[in-house]
Amino acid sequence: MLEVPTVPSPSVTPQPPAEAVAPLMRGLDVLRRLTDAESGDGTLALADLARTTGLARSTVDRICATLAHLGFVRLDGRDASLAPPLMTVANACLDALRVPGVLGPLADELADELDESVSLAVPDGDGIRFVHQVLRRRALSISFRVGDALPGGGCAPGLVFRDDLPLAVDDQLVERGLVAVAVPVRGPSGDVVCAVSVVSHTSRHAAGELAGAVRGALEKSVRSMESALAATSYASGLRPGPRGLSSKSGADIGLAPIVSLARGLTVLTAFDGAHPTLTLTEIAEATGLARATARRALITYEHLGYVTHEDRAFRLTPRVLTLGCAPLSRTTLPRIAAPHLAALSKRLGESVGLSVPDGDRVRCTARVTPRRVMSVDIGVGSRLPAKDTAAGRLLQGGGESAVADGPEAGLRSVAVPVRDRAGRVVSALDVTAHQGRGDDDAWTEALRDTAALIAADLHVTSRFVSVPVH
Ligand code: PHB
């Protein structure tokens, strides 16, 4: 992967209005710093968070404890990491924007037809922000993530928006060797709602020639996209009662949560595809917050550029995607599962892992094994005959659980399925240990609890992006 020059999230300098909620501003700052962390994986040491935000370490600890209480951040020793449930915030924004949900499948088709990467971007401030990415893996591939931003003048979609062009070409503006062609997609009112880009490499297409090569397919795709937007109903759906954020973490964090931060964050998840704009009254109703509380949160969000309003209708801006989206969206099932496997291994004191089918074998994609004198030794990547393992039997035979004596003499394994959003089994979760050390029923129950946690994280993450299962 090449180093890609993304735009850092803007740091806000103007004086906040008197009614802005300071703890909410600090919490959002922490989430943004984790999103922008150098590692790209949404993890920073608490000490580094204190340094970069300029906040006292005790303040950072309390903010992170609150975010952990909401399930948005995971605390692991000295580090804080973004956690999958935070994707509910990005999902609210992506859903309310409508573009990824309505046009994403058409962008996927275009990528298949052209066998090139395709992305959808929306304007965000002076630049653009990606809301959908279909990557074609190549030896040389640039890979922006959903939520990443580029400057307006520095990429093809940016030129489309800035100069109101019917077609713009990026001839290695972003990166040497990278070429892209972008065209606008218009909503029913004629406004440009997003730009669709076809992205390639100079080894495949010169910039001038790329436009000619993809133009026909691109124009046809844009027509389908515009019809899809016109056919999308903008009627508000019924809302099933208040949908505030629930506390997701059972961990005892020892610090009292900051109520104003937790409450303020619920405002973002009041929006969705059926409610892309909301009035203050509707937000108060949807979140269960007092009007005055919701109003102050909105003032805070508007000041920071996360929300705009026209008359009485408030709307999220794509900047909401700076709250965790890019690092959380570029992940895999084994990475999502890792903390859950560690907790399960600790709970059972045994080796636990994930596997996927691989011909008549199963391939281990993740494994956590406790240290002990005699321990099960199945490495990530190892392939075992499916019939000798519980995971293999489950993946081949279906069902809600499977057991096997194996994969070696003296071992026993129990497995349960992990399902994707559509209910398909995508992986098997197993415990494998020396025979006679555990109880199948107790193991099955523990595996099911963990499979449910892994699936919940997978489902929230994969709502608008695809998550590889290995
Ligand atoms: C992309 O990665 O999707 C991309 C990059 C540069 C552009 C357009 C799209 O100019």
Whole-model pTM over 0.75? yes
Regarding the beta carbon of 155 and ligand 1, being less than 6 Å apart is answered: yes
Distance of CA 427 to the CA centre of its chain: 19
The conformation of residue 407, written as its DSSP 8-state character, comes to S
Pairing between strand 178-186 and 192-201? antiparallel
Query: 132 CA distance to ligand 1 centroid (A)?
Result: 11
- For ligand 1, atom 2, name the residue with the nearest CA: 144
Closest atom, ligand 1, to C-alpha of 175 = 6
The confidence band for 296, taking pLDDT boundaries of 50, 70 and 90, is very high
The conformation of residue 108, written as its DSSP 8-state character, comes to H
Could you tell me if 388 and 403 are in contact, meaning their C-beta atoms sit under 8 angstroms apart? Answer: no
User: Per-residue pLDDT for 151 more than 50?
Assistant: yes
Regarding the beta carbon of 225 and ligand 1, being less than 6 Å apart is answered: no
pLDDT in tens, 44-95: 999 999 999 999 999 999 999 999 999 999 999 999 999 999 999 999 999 9
Provide the edge-to-edge strand list for the sheet that holds 79-82.
43-45, 79-82, 73-76
Preceding amide of 407 cis, omega within 30: yes
Query: 180 CA distance to ligand 1 centroid (A)?
Result: 6
Regarding the beta carbon of 157 and ligand 1, being less than 6 Å apart is answered: yes
Regarding the beta carbon of 131 and ligand 1, being less than 6 Å apart is answered: no
Regarding the beta carbon of 451 and ligand 1, being less than 6 Å apart is answered: no
The tokens describing 17, both together, are: 């209005």
> Cα separation of 181 and 340, whole Å?
42
Closest atom, ligand 1, to C-alpha of 170 = 10
Provide the edge-to-edge strand list for the sheet that holds 411-419.
383-385, 361-368, 351-358, 425-434, 411-419, 402-405
pLDDT in tens, 165-180: 999 999 999 999 999 9
Regarding the beta carbon of 146 and ligand 1, being less than 6 Å apart is answered: no
- Confidence at residue 237, expressed as pLDDT on a 0 to 100 scale: 45
User: Per-residue pLDDT for 467 more than 90?
Assistant: yes
Output the CA torsion sign for 38, 322, 267, 119: negative
> Which of these ranges, 139-143, 144-148, 290-294, has the smallest mean pLDDT?
139-143
Distance of CA 334 to the CA centre of its chain: 15
Query: 465 CA distance to ligand 1 centroid (A)?
Result: 17
- Confidence at residue 255, expressed as pLDDT on a 0 to 100 scale: 79
> Cα separation of 126 and 159, whole Å?
11
Regarding the beta carbon of 301 and ligand 1, being less than 6 Å apart is answered: no
Regarding the beta carbon of 119 and ligand 1, being less than 6 Å apart is answered: yes
pLDDT in tens, 225-240: 999 999 986 544 445 4
